[in-house]
Structure 1
Amino acid sequence: MDFLSSVVSYILNLGAPVFVPFIMLLAGLIVRMKFKDAASAAITLGVAFVGMSMLIGFMVGAIGAAAQTMMERTGLELSIIDGGWTTMANVSWAWPYAFLMFPLQVGINIFMLVIKKTDTFNADLWNVWGKIFTAFIVLAVASPIFGSVTALVLAFVIASFQIIMELNSGDINQHRIEKLTGIPGITCTHRMLFFAAIYYPFDLLLRKIPALNKPMDAAALRSKIGVFAENHVIGFILGVTFGIIAGYDVATILMLGVQAATALMLFPMISKLFMQALSPISEAISDYMNKRFAGRKLFVGLDWPFMGGSSEIWFTVIVAIPFTLIWAVILPGNKILPFAGIINIALVVPAYILTNGNTLRMVILAIIGVPFFLFVGTQFAPMITDLGLATKAIDIPAGQLISNSSIDAPVFTYAFSFITQFMQGYFIPLALAAYWCVGYFFYAKELRKETAQAQTQDNTN
C-alpha cells in the first residue's frame, strides 16, 4: 500500500507541465498517431504549460507585490495567511488517503464513458488533488458527527460526486469553449467552472440591461476605442494605475506599467502553443472515436490554461484586484489577507465562459464573486492549518492560520464539504448547496440548448 502510494505521488508530483503532456502522449499513441507527431505535440503542450506558469508567476510578483503594498498602506491586519493554490495542493497530497483518489477518478471516468453518461476523457489527472482537498475537508467536518469510518466513506462519496460533475461540466461547456478558443474537441474539466452556477442568476439579470447585452469582447472594444483596447496598452494603463495607488515612485510606476503590458501581450502568444499542441491530438482522438463509435465524439478535458490567450480574462483578473482588497477590508467576518491568490483565475474563467467573453459583465460578476472566495477561505483555515501541522507538509508558525483566498469552486467545495453540519443546526452549507444545484441545473439547460441548436444548424448546412 505504501509502495503504491509512493508511486502515484511521485508521478503526480511531476507537475502539470510533465504529467499532462505524458498523458496526452499516451492518448495520441493509443489513437494511432505517429510517435514523432504525438511526441512533438506533447512537448509543445509542456512548453505551453511552463510558459503560462512563468507568466502568471511574473504577474503575481509584479501586480501581487503592488496589491500587498496597497493593503499595508491601510494599516489593516488580517490574521490568516494566504498560501495560494500550491500550498493547498501540498497539504492535500499529504493526506494519508490521497493516493486512492487517482484510481477512483480514472475508474469513474472509464465507467461513465462505457455507459455513455459522458463524452469527456478527463486528461487533467494532475488536478486530482482538488478531489483530495474536498475529501479531507469532508472528513474533518463529518468525523465529530458520524465517527471517522463513516466520515471517510462520506468523504469519498462526495469526492466521487465531484468527479462526476467535472465530467458533466466538461460535456456541457465544450461547445461554448470551442467557440471561444477555436480549438476543436477540447473542453475544461477543472472544478473552477462550477462557479458559473453561482454567477448564472446574476448574469440573467445583467443580460436584461441593454448596455450590458451587446458584444463587449476584446475585438468589439478594439473596433470602438482602437489602440486603447490593445493588450499591451491596457496592461500599461492598469500597471501604472496600480503603481500610483500603491504609492510607488515614478520609475517604479513606469516599470510596473511595462511589466503588466509585457504579461498581457505575451499571454495570447503562449495560448497559441496550446492550440498548436492540442489540435492534432484532439483531431486524432475524434477520428479514432468516429471509426469505432458511429456518431459519437470524445472530448479531451484539460486544465484552464489553454484559454489563457483571452484578453478578456486578464483584463478582468487585474481589474478585480482592487475590489478584492476592498472586500477583504469591509466583508464582515473575513480574516484572510489576499496575497498569493490575488491573481484569481478561478474568479474570472467561469465568468468568461458564462458571458461569452463580455468584458463588462465579467468585471461585474467578478466583483460580486469575491466575497464567496474570502468567506470560504476563512472557513477552511482551521482545517487546512491542522492538516498542514499534522502532516508537516508545510511550515506553519505556532498560532498562525493558513488558507487560500482563491479556492477553486469555493461554493461547491464549501457547501458539500460542510453539508452534514445541518445535523448540528447550521444550515448555511445546505442552503448554498441547494442554490448551487438550482443554478447549475438552469445553466446546464441553457448550454445544452445552445449546443443542440448549433448541431441542428451544422446538419442543415
Structure 2
Amino acid sequence: MDLAQATAWIQEFLNSVGAAVFVPIIMIVMGLIVRMKIKDAISAGILLGVAFSGMSMLINYMSGLVQPVGEAMLERLGIDLPIMDGGWTTMAAIAWSWPFAILVFPLLIGINVIMLVANKTETFNADLWNVWGKIFTAIGVVGITGSVPLAFLIAAIQIVFELKTADLFKDEINELTGIPGVTCTHKMIFLSAIFYPIDKLLRKIPALNTKADAAALKEKVGIFAENHVLGFIIGVLFGLLGGYDVPATLTLGVQAAMCLTLFPVISKYFMEALSPISEAVSDYMHKKFADRELVVGLDWPFMGGSNEIWLTVIYAIPITVLFSFILPGNGILPFAGIVNIAVAVPAYLVTRGNLPRMLILATIGVPIFLYVGTVFAPFVSDLAHSTGAVDLAEGALISCSSIDGPVQTYSFATFLDFMNGNFLPLGVLVIWLAGYFYTYHDLKKEAAARKEAAAAQLEE
C-alpha cells in the first residue's frame, strides 16, 4: 500500500466513522495505557461517543433549521454572491486529497511526545480527528512554494502552537466547564490572539466589565433567560426575519427552544465520560512525570454546554448574512458554514463567558471569516477541480465562511507568498504573532499570580 492508497483508506475510514467513533477509540486505548480497568475504559469511551453523537445530532439539527432561514434572508435582500459556502467538510475533503496527508499523524504524535518528555507542554493531544487542519496548512505551503519538506515544517510549527495554546487556556477551560484534566487543542482557539487584546480594551468599559454570563442574565430577566424560553424567542425572531408564515415561525421557535434546552444536557455526558479518563491519565502521568499536572487535549464539543457559546453562534447568523451583503470585496455566500462555532469558542474563552463582550467580538470577527473565505476561494476551488475531492462544476468557486482560526490559517498557509511579491499574508502573520505573544504573556502572568495567591492561602 503506497502513501496515496493509505491516505485514501484513512480518509474513507474517518469519513465513515466520524469523531463519535474515532475519538472514543483513542480515549479507550489511552485509558488502557494508563491502567484503567477494561470495563471502565470501555464504558467511558462509549459514553464519550454518545456525547459526541448527541452534540453532532443537535448541531446538524440546528444547522438544518437556520440554514434555510439564512438563505431566505439573503433572497429577501436580493444578494448574489459567486462563491459557494461548502462548510468545514469541503476543507477537510480537500486536505485529505493530499498524497502525504497520512504522514501528518506521526508528525503530530511525535512532536507531542517530544514536548511532553522535554517538559515543554502539559497537554497530551487526543484530538487526532482534526489532524486535517494541519494538513490544510501544509497544502497551502506546497501550493505556494512547491516544497513538501517546508510544508511539514510549517505544519510542525502549527502543532507546537496548538499545544502551547491548549496549555495556556487549560485553567480557564477547567473553570468554565467544571471538567477536570481537559483542554482544547482545536485550532479555532487561535482566534484568541486577535480577540484577547480587543477584549482587554472592552474590559476598561465599566458596563462591559461586570458579571454577564447566561446565569447572571437569568437573575436579571428571569424567565426570559431560561433556555427554552430564550430559544423560543430567538426561533420566532429568525422566522420573522426569514419571512416565514405564523405556523412555520412558531414551529421554528419550538425547535430552537429544544436545541438550547438539550445542549447543556448533552454536555453533562462529556463530563461524565471524560472525568474518569482524565483522572486516570493525571494519576498515571503524575507517576511518570513527577510534580507535573498533565491534561488531555480534545475537540471543542465538551464545552458545548455553555449557553453563551450557542447564544453567540445564533447571534452571528444574521450578522454574517448582513456583513456578506455590505462588506466591500466579500464574494462568499454564507450557507453550509453559517453556524459558526469557530467565532464563539475563542470569544467564550477570552471573555470567560461574558456574553455582551462575546457578541461584540463576534461582530468584529465575522468579517474576518468572510474575507478569509473569499481570499481562499480560488485556491480551494483549484484544489477541488484538480483532485476531484469535491464535485464542483467547471468555473464554479467554493470556500468556507467559517474557516477555523481564520487569521492563523490564512497567514501560516500563505505567508511565504512574499517571495512572489505578495506581502499581505506576511503582514497578517506579524499581527497574529504580536497578538498571540501578548495574550500568552498576559495569561501566563495571571496564572502565576493565581498560584502565588493559592500558595499564600496555604501558608496562612
For normalisation by structure 2, the TM-score amounts to 0.96
Determine the C-alpha separation between the residues in 2 that align with 1:26 and 1:11. 18
Native 8 Å contact 2:192 2:350 kept in 1 = yes
1:344 is aligned to 2:340: yes
- Pick aligned residue for 1:327 from 323, 330, 334: 323
CA shift at 1:290, angstroms?
1.6
Q: Match of 2:86?
A: 83
CA shift at 1:452, angstroms?
2.2
Q: Match of 1:407?
A: 403
Determine the C-alpha separation between the residues in 2 that align with 1:9 and 1:86. 12
Within 5 Å, give how 1:419-438 maps onto structure 2: 419-438=415-434
- Pick aligned residue for 2:60 from 57, 62, 66: 57
Native 8 Å contact 2:7 2:96 kept in 1 = no
Q: Match of 1:195?
A: 191
Aligned residue for 2:84, secondary structure, equals: strand
Aligned residue for 1:402, secondary structure, equals: strand
Q: Match of 1:395?
A: 391
Aligned residue for 1:295, secondary structure, equals: coil
Corresponding residue pairs, total:
454
Determine the C-alpha separation between the residues in 2 that align with 1:46 and 1:402. 31
**Deviations 1:308-362 (Å, cap 9, x if unpaired)?**
0000000111111111111101111110001111110001100000000000000
User: What value does the CA root-mean-square deviation take over the aligned residues?
Assistant: 1.2
CA shift at 1:238, angstroms?
0.8
Opposite residue 391 of structure 2, the aligned amino acid is D
Determine the C-alpha separation between the residues in 2 that align with 1:406 and 1:173. 22
Aligned residue for 1:301, secondary structure, equals: strand
Native 8 Å contact 2:27 2:45 kept in 1 = yes
Determine the C-alpha separation between the residues in 2 that align with 1:449 and 1:184. 22
CA shift at 1:6, angstroms?
4.8
Opposite residue 365 of structure 1, the aligned amino acid is L
1:131 is aligned to 2:124: no
Within 5 Å, give how 1:7-406 maps onto structure 2: 8-13=10-15, 14-142=17-145, 148=146, 151-406=147-402
Determine the C-alpha separation between the residues in 2 that align with 1:191 and 1:58. 24
Determine the C-alpha separation between the residues in 1 that align with 2:98 and 2:52. 26
Determine the C-alpha separation between the residues in 2 that align with 1:34 and 1:116. 28
Determine the C-alpha separation between the residues in 2 that align with 1:237 and 1:4. 49
Opposite residue 108 of structure 2, the aligned amino acid is Q
Native 8 Å contact 1:109 1:121 kept in 2 = yes
**Deviations 1:101-151 (Å, cap 9, x if unpaired)?**
111111111111111111100000010000011111121123xxxxx2xx2
Determine the C-alpha separation between the residues in 1 that align with 2:7 and 2:340. 31
Aligned residue for 1:81, secondary structure, equals: strand
CA shift at 1:94, angstroms?
1.2
Q: Match of 1:145?
A: none
Aligned residue for 1:76, secondary structure, equals: coil
Determine the C-alpha separation between the residues in 2 that align with 1:21 and 1:178. 21
Where structure 1 has 5 or more consecutive residues not aligned to the other structure, the ranges are 143-147
Native 8 Å contact 1:11 1:19 kept in 2 = no
Determine the C-alpha separation between the residues in 2 that align with 1:451 and 1:37. 33
Native 8 Å contact 2:8 2:97 kept in 1 = no
Where structure 2 has 5 or more consecutive residues not aligned to the other structure, the ranges are none
Determine the C-alpha separation between the residues in 2 that align with 1:280 and 1:455. 25
Native 8 Å contact 2:125 2:298 kept in 1 = yes
For normalisation by structure 1, the TM-score amounts to 0.96
Aligned residue for 1:121, secondary structure, equals: strand
Opposite residue 314 of structure 1, the aligned amino acid is W
CA shift at 1:10, angstroms?
4.9
Determine the C-alpha separation between the residues in 1 that align with 2:87 and 2:279. 35
